[in-house]
Structure 1
Amino acid sequence: MRERDGTPLGHLPERKAVLMLHGRSVPVAAGFDLKHASYSWADHLAKAGYDVFMMDLQGSGLSPRPRMEDPRNVSPAHQNLLKPRPPGFTPGTPNYAFQLNNSNSDRDELHTVVEWIRKERNVAKVAFVGWSAAAFTMGPYAVNNPTKVESLFLLAPIFPPEGTSTPPSQLPQPGFPTFLGTRWGFESGWNTELRCENQREPGIVEKVWAAVMENDPVGRTWGPPEGLSRIRNFFRWGWNKTTAAQGGVLGGSVPVLIAYGEYDTQVNTSPPNPNPELDFSVPALYNAIAGSHKLMVKLACAGHSVVWETQHKNVHNLTKHWLEHLKVDGKTLGVFDMNTNGDISPAP
């Protein structure tokens, strides 16, 4: 866990505690605390008066990565990326043939951090900020722990409205602990969502990849000269339209703000995926939330990687305004558009 406290003289009792959680493949240091120009989301919130904490789940960033040190436990489909081969590595079946994490373990880790923050900072509630697959952990946790969560800000949340509610009969699930990501795969996937002029700053891909590699001391020694990112494999359940509506918590005692880029193809599956576990929709999340304190903002000229695009400053300001007022454009309910100047208007 990392902390950014904007108070130069130390903790102040009235400072709101904010906890940020990463998505599937990018550690918090690269996603929330990129040390380049104005891209550190955490620093922006700390300077605005918040005590900001960032956590990596097990298997991400500098957190423990059990079974992930062994290159034999890489996805068989990705083992061909290990060139030159690490010493002693022979491609084949993983010697730990299971996935690394699951919904229960992720939520348990989140709970441990929340309890530590509440005790350390002497606060009853913590404000949540999550990006992408963080929704799988923060959403259900907020539903089941409304007395500990002040609000929920979800950027580009992954949400399968018809996803399963129940855990599998066998845990851990069969599989392997580790996927691999390449620098070129990272850039090429991002390129598919670039639709506007100056949507991404020149050279930012290299800055982000360097931050990912800085937080993966093993992966950066694998494969091509630019290294490989090790991505934890986890099995998920319990985040769907039933969970989002449960007890009227979300949008009720836990206000919710959802923001996403208009060109984000990861969070809105089109055409619909026949597999309900892989069929995602941000508007479906907004509609599923039963409470009336809910807002959704679509960000113009932005994709899934908006945290590193030119819209990032507007995301920072939107988050800061939300944490202070729990409103958008003076309202606590509604759907809005935000242009590249940061101006907000009701959606048509």
Structure 2
Amino acid sequence: MRRHLAVLSFLLPLLLLGMAAQAQPITKEDEQIDGADPSVRLFVRMKMAEGNARFTDDNVVVFVHGATTPSTPDFDLSYKDYSWADRLARLGYVVYMFDKRNYGFSSREPAMDKPAAENRPVTRSYLAVRDIGSVVDFVRKRHSVSKLTLIGWSWGAMTTGYFASLHSDKLRRIVLYAPAYAFAQHTNLGAGTALQNKRKPLEFNYGLGAYRLGTAAANTARWDGEIPIENKGEYREQGVVDAFNAEMLATDPTSGSRTPPSLRAPNGVLEDSFMQATGRRMWNASSIYVPTLVIAGQYDTWSYPEDREVLMRDLTNVPLKKSVMIPDATHFVLFEKNREQFFQAIEDFLKSPVAEVSKP
């Protein structure tokens, strides 16, 4: 009995602390800012703990979304405790996210309202990097900080690396979550896939057009395909799947006009990813000069171990680099039952001293 009481007395303060953190109010601000190019307007969301007045190079974070889904379903999912933004805000971070041009609540160019086949892929990576730059400069100026941290997921990791290779002076650290990089035998993005022009093998398949349509069923099927067991419920709960798909579709005002409902996702990412996966890099990690974490789930099929191995090899000028693989996890590890290990690895990296010896 005494032993049980001792354990309870130890755990109770931790439990109460966790409950207090969950109850801590979070401030949210949504706005539109000017992009770097005429007529480009970018949706930006900020979240932080209510009453927070601390803004430093160490606690300002900007999330960068990936290829299909805009920022808010990715990083601020309003289901139970699945908002990554809220988690970091409760840890004292000032958190930003934004939608790249032609995504979500940012402005869309005319090609997005025409049949996809009438135009070539829109939102190429070099333009997405310009959008990242607009948001980084906006946040730095707003909070009078010289540097901030970027956390990019999937194509967001690729464009984060691209941006860092050009503007390391504006960054404190970067987290590359599930980056594709330079794996020339990539089975989802490279030669032999639908992204390749079969008549001109070195060329992208421009027949895919300006954008593609993403449905809830397609998103779920992709996730299912990475979970290596029949019972998908061992990796995730169905509620988070439903919530994510609903919030994803809600970011496109035209989604309900199609059957089944679908959002429009620019194809610039596919063209650039095909180039990356066939040996034609847009950027090189050797041009990055800030501490870098490379992280992915064990069963991720966007970012293969071979991608991350070459990326780590090329990070020759960073003062700290780490590569972490989360076991029993997929591309969507942030929404899975094993996500605590993923979050903890990132939080440890954000706080770790730069003088720490780099780990392969």
Is TM-score (shorter-chain normalized) higher than 0.5? yes
- Distance across 2 between alignment mates of 1:106 and 1:176: 18
1:31 matched to which residue of 2?
74
- Distance across 2 between alignment mates of 1:290 and 1:195: 34
Q: What is the 5 A alignment of 1:197-236?
A: 198-224=234-260, 227-234=261-268, 235-236=271-272
Q: What is the 5 A alignment of 1:269-348?
A: 281-291=307-317, 293-325=320-352, 331-335=356-360
Aligned 8 A contact 2:235 2:336 in 1:
yes
Q: Does 1:266 align with 2:292?
A: no
Aligned 8 A contact 1:126 1:150 in 2:
yes
| Superposition CA RMSD, Å | 2.7
- Distance across 2 between alignment mates of 1:332 and 1:222: 53
- Distance across 2 between alignment mates of 1:68 and 1:305: 30
- Distance across 2 between alignment mates of 1:128 and 1:161: 23
Provide closer, same or farther for how the CA distance between residues 241 and 63 of structure 1 changes in structure 2, counting only shifts above 3 A.
closer
Write out per-residue CA displacement over residues 252-309 of structure 1, whole angstroms, 9 at most, x where no aligned residue.
Answer: x30000111111122128xxxxxxxxxx722221122113511000101101111211
- The percent identity for this pair of structures is 26
Residue 90 of structure 2, aligned match among 43, 47, 55: 47
- Distance across 2 between alignment mates of 1:41 and 1:200: 16
Q: Which amino acid aligns with 1:310?
A: K
Provide closer, same or farther for how the CA distance between residues 174 and 120 of structure 1 changes in structure 2, counting only shifts above 3 A.
farther
Q: What is the 5 A alignment of 1:243-258?
A: 243-246=283-286, 249-250=287-288, 253-258=289-294
1:192 matched to which residue of 2?
225
TM-score by length of 1: 0.75
- Distance across 2 between alignment mates of 1:66 and 1:158: 27
Aligned 8 A contact 1:286 1:296 in 2:
yes
Aligned 8 A contact 2:210 2:266 in 1:
yes
Q: Which amino acid aligns with 2:145?
A: V
Aligned 8 A contact 2:158 2:176 in 1:
no
Q: What is the 5 A alignment of 1:17-96?
A: 17-67=60-110, 69-70=112-113, 72-74=114-116, 94=117, 96=118
Provide closer, same or farther for how the CA distance between residues 206 and 333 of structure 1 changes in structure 2, counting only shifts above 3 A.
same
Which deviates further from its counterpart, 109-118 or 10-19?
10-19
1:12 matched to which residue of 2?
54
Gaps of at least 5 residues in structure 2 are 1-43, 187-205
Aligned-pair CA distance for 1:51: 0.6
Gaps of at least 5 residues in structure 1 are 75-93, 164-172, 270-279, 336-348
- Distance across 1 between alignment mates of 2:111 and 2:245: 20
Aligned 8 A contact 2:251 2:263 in 1:
no
Q: Which amino acid aligns with 2:291?
A: P
Write out per-residue CA displacement over residues 198-224 of structure 1, whole angstroms, 9 at most, x where no aligned residue.
Answer: 111133221110110121111233222
- Distance across 1 between alignment mates of 2:158 and 2:223: 22
Aligned-pair CA distance for 1:151: 0.6
Aligned 8 A contact 2:151 2:157 in 1:
no
Q: Does 1:119 align with 2:150?
A: no
TM-score by length of 2: 0.73
Provide closer, same or farther for how the CA distance between residues 45 and 58 of structure 1 changes in structure 2, counting only shifts above 3 A.
same
SS at match of 2:169: coil
1:77 matched to which residue of 2?
none
Write out per-residue CA displacement over residues 30-87 of structure 1, whole angstroms, 9 at most, x where no aligned residue.
Answer: 11111111211111111101111001101112111223553x423xxxxxxxxxxxxx
Q: How many residues align?
A: 287
Q: What is the 5 A alignment of 1:177-188?
A: 177-188=210-221
- Distance across 1 between alignment mates of 2:227 and 2:111: 33
Write out per-residue CA displacement over residues 87-141 of structure 1, whole angstroms, 9 at most, x where no aligned residue.
Answer: xxxxxxx3x4222121221111111111111110100001010000112311121
Aligned-pair CA distance for 1:161: 5.1
SS at match of 1:19: strand
1:131 matched to which residue of 2?
153
Aligned-pair CA distance for 1:242: 8.8
SS at match of 1:127: strand
Aligned 8 A contact 2:128 2:159 in 1:
yes
Aligned 8 A contact 2:157 2:175 in 1:
no
- Distance across 1 between alignment mates of 2:242 and 2:344: 25
